[in-house]
Amino acid sequence: MLDPIYDECGIAAVYCMDVRAGGGESPVSSHLTEEGNVMRLLPEMLIDLQNRGQLAAGITRFNGAEPKIIDTFKEIGSVSDVFHLTCPDPAKFLEIMDRYRGQAGIGHVRYATCGGDDREHAQPFQRDHGRKWKWFGFCFNGNVANYAEVKAGILQKGDYHLKCDNDTEVLMHHLSYALQGDSKPDLVQVFRHIAETVDGAYSLAFLNADGDLVLARDPLGFRPLCYAVKGSLFAAASESLALTNRGFTEIQDLEPGMLLHVTPAGVRKARFAESPRKAFCFFEYVYFANVASTLNGRSVYLTRKRLGEALAEGEELDTDPADCVAVPVPDTAKAACDALAYKLGIPSLEGLIRNRYVGRTFIEGKNRIERARRKYTALPEVLEGKRVLLVEDSVVRSNTLRVIVKMLREQGRAREVHVRVACPPIMSPCSYGIDMSTVSELFAPRLLGVEPQKEYSAEELRKLSDDLGTDSLRYLTLEQLTRAIGAPENELCLGCVTGRYPTLWGDRLYQQALRLKDGPQAKRTYEDVLPSPASRR
């Protein structure tokens, strides 16, 4: 994606169970000490989830032999920076791993969809308590759509305070509330309380000082979560790649509304919320997930390949291979670009080179235009005098795309630039974990109006193309998108392209965003204000 937006976070978890309960060898036995320490696995897993967030990283460990049974380490920065994985002195990494050794742990990579950018907002969050089952750390991937409502409900009590003022903190308050009392509650009931309180997306990892690890996925399954067990070792992560690269083979997706409760005795699966439908985020397949991952039983690579093939099916330009090249936006559009080029019989060439040390522009978000100038270089050796089909996975705000189109013409000396987008126009905001919560920031509604359509006319697309400075612009249709993913509309969240949301608060916030679209909006819609009483009925 050229045009940066924020989304996502990534979570990971490991647990060394009683070897008598599992049996057999662990796939990563080299990381296990005689005490069952598994914490060195977490930074490696988080590296494989780095695509989901580059703002901060952290881990929480469980070690029943230490005074700090639950202890958390987190900092601002990439996984490599936080854990000193690339520094000249490996002793720093080993020092962190020795201090935070444990039999179980959870980890998180963050990018901000709610709250600030400092260390206080980094995850996991930790809540200390004298009773072990009330002392916990937790982290999640997603976004609380009814954040303003849940926050108001907490503050109405009069003696509560939110230090960080984000959705992670309100979840921590409600987890603490569900754990109150003099006897340890059933953890299924604890997470049932979360499901009854929260509207939105959450794949969540919870670890307490009593040795309980819980992984939970929201009732609609917006965000991915998978797990595997081999021998005495349990592991879970937002994406399958983090498990595959640790040697796990029997990887399963956690179903929406289900949780896994892991203890030394083994793994128990239980339903904590009814799942009336599925609402997998289509953007995971188009952009966010690592191309090597499998989500909800579907290969991300093969999905993006089919998206490119669908783009080729509708191509009307003359694509003489001597005169025309397909160029992907690195890296997420490469699979789609290669498939489009193969289908059209033209070369797929890297005419746009990415400086991999700048970072993932979409995730980082600030100074986007300047980052784009530093991040990409156009190659005249590939582009000069050519008709270029620039293949992009999506266009959200268009700021960076304008820079790239100009770069292809001026630096690359391309004769023509035709943009092909592997998803429909982004017409509506998201309240489920993608940082595009206002209508006014989106490119397409400014020129097409705010009412999403199933298809857009040649005249409407020409209007967009002229605004971008391209020779032509074409998107996939909604039907082509769902066919490529291999899921019906009612199993996907498509709110940002259809304006129809799978939860009540998604609809409410969209109506609120429409009302605010022409005025200044300093905060994200779901952070700023409660929807008006009329929209809340």
The predicted-structure confidence for 334-345, as pLDDT tens digits, reads as follows 999 999 999 999
User: In this structure, are residues 423 and 456 in contact, taking their beta carbons and an 8 Å threshold?
Assistant: no
Please count the structural domains in the chain: 2
Domain final residue pick, 245, 276, 307: 276
Alpha-carbon gap, residue 84 to 407, rounded angstroms: 36
- pLDDT at site 372: 72
Alpha-carbon gap, residue 492 to 482, rounded angstroms: 8
Cis peptide before 256 (omega within 30 of 0): no
Alpha-carbon gap, residue 137 to 206, rounded angstroms: 6
Provide the pairing of β-strand 492-493 with 280-281.
parallel
- Residue numbers of the domain that contains 243: 8-276
Location of structure tokens 């999905």: 303
Report yes or no on 124 lying in a domain.
yes
Length of the chain: 537
Helix (H) or strand (E) holding 13: strand 9-16
Location of structure tokens 């987190």: 74
Say whether both 268 and 314 belong to one domain. Answer: no
Report yes or no on 314 lying in a domain.
yes
Say whether both 326 and 231 belong to one domain. Answer: no
Q: Is residue 218 predicted with pLDDT exceeding 60?
A: yes
Report yes or no on 232 lying in a domain.
yes
CA-closest candidate to residue 206, choices 448, 492, 483, 15: 15
Alpha-carbon gap, residue 219 to 147, rounded angstroms: 17
- pLDDT at site 121: 86
Structure tokens at 300: 């991300």
Provide the pairing of β-strand 104-110 with 56-62.
antiparallel
Q: CA angle, corner 331, sides to 315 and 453, nearest 5?
A: 45
Report yes or no on 287 lying in a domain.
no
Reported pTM: 0.91
Alpha-carbon gap, residue 36 to 16, rounded angstroms: 6
Model pLDDT for residues 119-178, shown as the tens digit of each residue = 888 999 999 999 999 999 999 999 999 999 999 999 998 888 888 878 999 999 999 999
- pLDDT at site 161: 85
- pLDDT at site 26: 46
Q: Report CA torsion sign: 46, 52, 55, 60.
A: negative
Say whether both 263 and 349 belong to one domain. Answer: no
Spell 399-412 as b/e; 16+ CB within 10 A means b. Answer: ebbbbbbbbbbeeb
Residue type, 276: P
Report yes or no on 441 lying in a domain.
yes
Q: Where are the alpha helices (DSSP H) in 250-354?
A: 282-283, 300-313, 334-344
Averaged pLDDT score across all residues of the chain: 90
For residues 107-114, average pLDDT: 77
Model pLDDT for residues 356-390, shown as the tens digit of each residue = 776 544 445 455 567 777 889 999 999 999 999 99
Say whether both 88 and 215 belong to one domain. Answer: yes
Residue 3: pLDDT band with limits 50, 70, 90? very low
- Number of CB atoms found within 10 A of residue 469's CB: 13
Q: Is residue 1 predicted with pLDDT exceeding 60?
A: no
Least confident of 104-108, 122-126, 437-441: 437-441
For residues 249-274, average pLDDT: 97
Cα of first residue to Cα of last residue in the chain, in angstroms, is 37
Report yes or no on 1 lying in a domain.
no
Structure tokens at 258: 């289900």
Domain final residue pick, 276, 311, 328: 276
Give, in order, the Cα–Cα distances in Å from 101 to each of 37, 49, 95, 127, 488. 6, 21, 10, 19, 45
- pLDDT at site 373: 76
Question: Residues of the chain with pLDDT > 90: what percent?
Answer: 78
Domain final residue pick, 276, 306, 328: 276
**Any idea what the CATH number is for the domain that residue 87 is in?**
3.60.20.10
- pLDDT at site 89: 77
- pLDDT at site 116: 54
Least confident of 326-330, 364-368, 488-492: 364-368
Say whether both 50 and 84 belong to one domain. Answer: yes
Say whether both 271 and 302 belong to one domain. Answer: no
- pLDDT at site 120: 82
- Give the DSSP letter of residue 363: H
Phi, psi (deg, nearest 5) at residue 295: -120, 130
Structure tokens at 40: 């060195």
Question: Residues of the chain with pLDDT > 70: what percent?
Answer: 89
Q: Is residue 536 predicted with pLDDT exceeding 70?
A: no
Say whether both 490 and 386 belong to one domain. Answer: yes
Q: Report CA torsion sign: 458, 460, 461, 467.
A: positive
Give, in order, the Cα–Cα distances in Å from 352 to each of 162, 309, 372. 45, 21, 11
User: In this structure, are residues 71 and 136 in contact, taking their beta carbons and an 8 Å threshold?
Assistant: no
Residue 227: pLDDT band with limits 50, 70, 90? very high
Say whether both 238 and 304 belong to one domain. Answer: no
Q: Is residue 436 predicted with pLDDT exceeding 90?
A: no
Q: Where in the sequence numbering do the catalytic residues fall?
A: 9
Q: CA angle, corner 219, sides to 432 and 513, nearest 5?
A: 25
Structure tokens at 365: 């978000």
227: left (phi over 0), alpha (psi -120 to 50) or beta: beta
- pLDDT at site 36: 76
Say whether both 63 and 157 belong to one domain. Answer: yes
Report yes or no on 63 lying in a domain.
yes
Say whether both 305 and 249 belong to one domain. Answer: no
Residue 528: pLDDT band with limits 50, 70, 90? low
Say whether both 269 and 415 belong to one domain. Answer: no
Model pLDDT for residues 38-51, shown as the tens digit of each residue = 999 999 999 999 99
Give 294's strand partners: 299
**Any idea what the CATH number is for the domain that residue 400 is in?**
3.40.50.2020
Alpha-carbon gap, residue 103 to 93, rounded angstroms: 18
Q: Is residue 281 predicted with pLDDT exceeding 70?
A: yes
Report yes or no on 79 lying in a domain.
yes
Say whether both 373 and 233 belong to one domain. Answer: no
Model pLDDT for residues 53-105, shown as the tens digit of each residue = 989 999 999 999 999 999 999 999 999 999 998 777 789 999 999 999 999 99
